[in-house]
Structure formats: C-alpha cells, structure tokens
C-alpha cells in the first residue's frame, strides 16, 4: 500500500450538520458561556469540530465523540490506498472503498474500530474547547441539548496515524494471504483450529466488506478441512494395525487418540507411531467364521470420523 501524496486540511472535514444544528427555530434556555465560541462556525486548520443535538446532554456529548472518530477515520483512510489482491474482487474506485469503509464504521459503531489503536485513543478529555446550549423549540416547547467540541488534530498526528493504519492494514492482509497459502500445508488436526483462531483478528479488523468477506472465506475453507479427512489402515504384525489420517493424499497427525470398539476383541489400545496411529488388540475371544473388526472414532472439529478395519483370526 502507498500513501497518497495529497494534502488534507482536517478542518474541511467539518460536520455537515454543524451549521444546521445551530440554525433551528429555538430559544436558548441555558448555555455554558455568555457568547458562543467562533470556532464551531469556522474551519480551522489542525482541529476537528464536531457538534450534535440530542434529548440529553450526555447523549449529545457521545454523539460528538462518535463524530470526531468518524472524521479522524475519514482523514486517515483518505490517505490510504487499499492494496489490490488477486483474491479480492474489487468493487469500484478507491474512493468508493473509503466511503464503504467509513460507512461500515458508522453502521456498526465503535465495535470494529476498537482494533484500531488511534480510535482507542480518542477521548473527550482531549478536547481544547466545548460549548453547550439547553434549547426549547418555539413551536413544540421540546427541550434539547446542543453540544459542540473543538478537538486538536495537528498534521503531525495525522501523518503518524496514517503510518500506523497503513502498517496494521498491511499486517492483516499479509496474515490472511499467508493463511490462505498455508492451507495446503496443514500437518495436524489441531492446527486447523489454531489457524482459524489466528485469523479471527483480521476478520474483526477489516471494515470494508470486500476484504472481510475474503477473510471469512479463507476461514470457511479451513472449517471444511475436517470433512476432507480420510482414514486408512494396514496390518502391522499380529494383532496390530497402523492407521493413518490424510487430506487429499497428504498425511496429517492428531494428538487426540480415537475411541476404540470391537465386536469381539479386547485390550484395545491406540498410541501414536510417527505420523500414524498404532492400534493393538487381543483376539483370543474372536471366532474364525465371524467378521471381526475394530472401529475407530476420531473427534474432529465440528464432526466425528469413523474408520473400521477387519481382521482374521489365525
């Protein structure tokens, strides 16, 4: 990914609703200062101004905080070029990707944004100015609270956040790409769940629908792996068999030994032997003219796998 060499005046990210919020037909019942500050009505480089009106003071304050987060997210995302991967079906232009990115944040609140360090650090305790009014609508008499904040966002911080965002974005994409390539190298049943767990932060991180669906698709492919596991067995001397697990012909191991049952054999035991599982049994109670067998039941992620081998009594 590359940082676009374009300049952004943060103050231009002014909330569209700022002017309209303070231009309604109302009378001011109470206010925080004798005169409203000039900063909420003018663009100011190095600052973000956010305003909101709600039925309670606290609700208006929180809406201001969310507005600051959205504006900072917009400012940072505008300087990011989302990398194009052959596995990702691009939507339209990069500008639309950014719109989708920020709209997703808006729709889901701060849940997904929690994985972004610079979103975590945004707090109303950092504002350098605030102003509020208690208002009463002239026609209805309804009481509302208007709140506005002046949040510092210098260019140096903007550039630093772009670098942080770019680095984390690249790490998450590289994680999914690596896991997608690794799926053919899975060597054990237990590794499947470990890989799925490792990828989950990327799914939680991706705001844009395209990459999140890509990451979720890779996880689904991992979840399908247990359904592809097959078992084979071969005799390994008297009263013993070697059982192996594989995915499309490639051997995999498991630390969990199977449950063993038999129609007649006793002293059933399963132990690891290299990449295989050694199953031993005692067949002294088995009859020559019966179909004698040992059945193995493996517990796999999301399913169980049964395998049965038959043996002759000599």
pLDDT digits (tens, 9 = 90+) for 198-252: 999 898 888 777 888 999 999 999 999 999 999 999 999 899 999 999 999 999 9
216-232 in b/e form (b: 16+ CB < 10 A) is eebbeebeebbeebebe
Residue 7 has pLDDT above 70, yes or no: no
What's the whole-model pTM score? 0.67
User: Computed over its alpha carbons, how large is the radius of gyration of the chain?
Assistant: 31
| 248 assigned to some structural domain | yes
Beta partners for residue 152, in sequence order: 47
How would you class 261 by CB atoms within 10 Å of its CB: exposed for 0-12, middle for 13-18, buried for 19 or more? middle
Q: What is the pLDDT of residue 115?
A: 53
Range of weakest confidence among 177-186, 201-210, 304-313: 201-210
pLDDT digits (tens, 9 = 90+) for 157-178: 888 888 888 888 889 999 999 9
Report the domain count for the chain.
2
- Same domain for 127 and 245, yes or no, is no
- Same domain for 271 and 133, yes or no, is no
| 117 assigned to some structural domain | yes
Residue 12 has pLDDT above 80, yes or no: no
Q: What is the pLDDT of residue 61?
A: 93
Q: Domain limits at 124?
A: 10-159
Which of these three, 136, 159, 182, is where a domain ends?
Answer: 159
| 44 assigned to some structural domain | yes
Residue 21 has pLDDT above 50, yes or no: no
- Same domain for 272 and 136, yes or no, is no
Q: Residue 89: pLDDT band by 50, 70, 90 thresholds?
A: very low
pLDDT higher for 297 or 22? Answer: 297
Which of these three, 102, 124, 159, is where a domain ends?
Answer: 159
pLDDT digits (tens, 9 = 90+) for 125-160: 899 999 999 999 988 999 999 999 999 999 998 888
């Amino acid at each position: 990914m590359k940082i676009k060499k374009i300049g952004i005046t943060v103050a231009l990210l002014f909330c569209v609703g700022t002017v309209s919020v303070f231009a309604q037909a109302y009378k001011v019942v109470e206010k925080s200062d004798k005169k409203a500050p000039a900063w909420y009505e003018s663009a100011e480089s190095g600052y973000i101004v956010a305003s909101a009106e709600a039925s309670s003071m606290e609700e208006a304050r929180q809406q201001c905080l969310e507005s600051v987060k959205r504006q900072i997210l917009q400012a940072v995302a505008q300087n990011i070029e989302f990398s194009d991967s052959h596995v990702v079906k691009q939507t339209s232009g990069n500008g639309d990707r950014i719109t989708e990115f920020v709209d997703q944040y808006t729709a889901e609140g701060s849940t997904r944004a929690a994985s972004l360090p610079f979103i975590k650090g945004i707090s109303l305790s950092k504002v350098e100015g605030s102003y509020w009014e208690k208002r009463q609508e002239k026609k209805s008499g309804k009481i509302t609270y208007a709140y506005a904040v002046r949040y510092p966002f210098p260019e140096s911080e903007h550039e630093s956040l772009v670098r942080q965002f770019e680095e984390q974005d690249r790490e998450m994409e590289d994680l999914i790409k690596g896991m997608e390539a690794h799926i053919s190298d899975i060597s054990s049943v237990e590794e499947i769940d470990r890989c799925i767990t490792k990828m989950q932060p990327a799914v939680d991180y991706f705001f844009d629908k395209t990459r999140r669906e890509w990451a979720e698709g890779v996880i689904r492919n991992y979840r399908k792996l247990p359904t592809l596991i097959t078992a084979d067995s071969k005799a390994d001397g008297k009263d013993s068999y070697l059982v192996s697990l594989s995915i499309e012909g490639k051997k995999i191991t498991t630390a969990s030994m199977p449950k063993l049952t038999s129609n007649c054999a006793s002293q059933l035991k399963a132990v690891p032997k290299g990449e295989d599982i050694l199953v031993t049994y005692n067949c002294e109670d088995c009859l020559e003219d019966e179909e004698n067998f040992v059945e193995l039941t493996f517990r796999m992620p999301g399913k169980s796998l049964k395998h049965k081998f038959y043996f002759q009594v000599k």
